[in-house]
Structure 1
Amino acid sequence: MKMFNYILICFLLLSCQNKEQKRVKNSINNSIQQSESNDIVKDTTIVYDIDNVSAEGVEATVRYVNKKIKESTINIYGETGQATITYLFSSDLINVTEKVFEYKTDLKKVSSDKDMKIKTEVSYNIDLEGRLIGVSGKERIDIFKEFKEVVPFEIN
């Protein structure tokens, strides 16, 4: 009888351990699958300097998703103000929003956004070559040629 109890206890322990191993293995497999699905979308941000636009500097912060350009925010710094241009890329056109700010004070005294005011704001669309689609209605800052020379639309 002792032998039977001993065998029964060993059998129960082994069977419980097997279930635990399966549970751990399933948990590991689920974690791996979750991790692989999270790795599908790769988001990368790169900052580029664009020359020959403004003496004070031009900086483009570009966001890539799955190695393709999706969005760019360009800051153009000037002596009397600055401008922000946002490009939102789709498959065949780019939605552009421009905001031009004036400094309320001397450039050397500007310390925050409170020292600036919006002068103009305009939105329009361009194609992937930079050609205007439709009518913008106001003057626009056209630096797309310079942007395209520096910023790749796809990265490796």
Structure 2
Amino acid sequence: MRSVLRATFLQSIFILVAAAGLGILVDLANPKGILRRPRSQHALQDSLLFAVMQDSTIVLQAPPRISTAAVRRLLANPSIVLLDARAPADYLRGHIPGALNLPYEELYRHAQMLEKIDPRSWIVCYCDGPPCDLGERLAGELFAAGLPRVAVYEGGINEWRREGGQIETGSSGR
């Protein structure tokens, strides 16, 4: 009886270790995996964003990912457009002050909203934060559609809250 319990326990440990190892391997293979996101890259991306804002001859190849500090700094500029890519219900429960709701899933139904945005304005897209990638996907679509001044706030509303950022509920917009 004791040997059966021991064998079962050892098998359980083996399965647990194998599952954890497999999970880590899958995460490392995923380009958006949690273990592959170096947070120190934000400082470089923030610097790039502010350099591009100063020098319009710099051409970006993709939307930069920016930090909470960069978003706070950008909010001082009234021409910045914040786009919350989450579902309307999530947006209404709480969003970064001044953000407009443009759900990624409904992007093409809201084309008229995009037409109202000055193409010289900077657009910052966000969602909940990892593992949510709706903000990144929205920024990619806008960038591909010819809007060159797009950035991604990768930390999203969850990081904004953790960092003590103010939250607005209901509908808003600058």
Under a length normalisation based on structure 1, what TM-score does the superposition of the two structures give? 0.35
- The structure with the greater share of residues assigned to strand is 1
- The structure with the greater share of residues assigned to helix is 2
Point out which structure has higher relative CO (alpha carbons under 8 A, 6+ apart).
2
Under a length normalisation based on structure 2, what TM-score does the superposition of the two structures give? 0.32
Structure with bigger gyration radius? 1
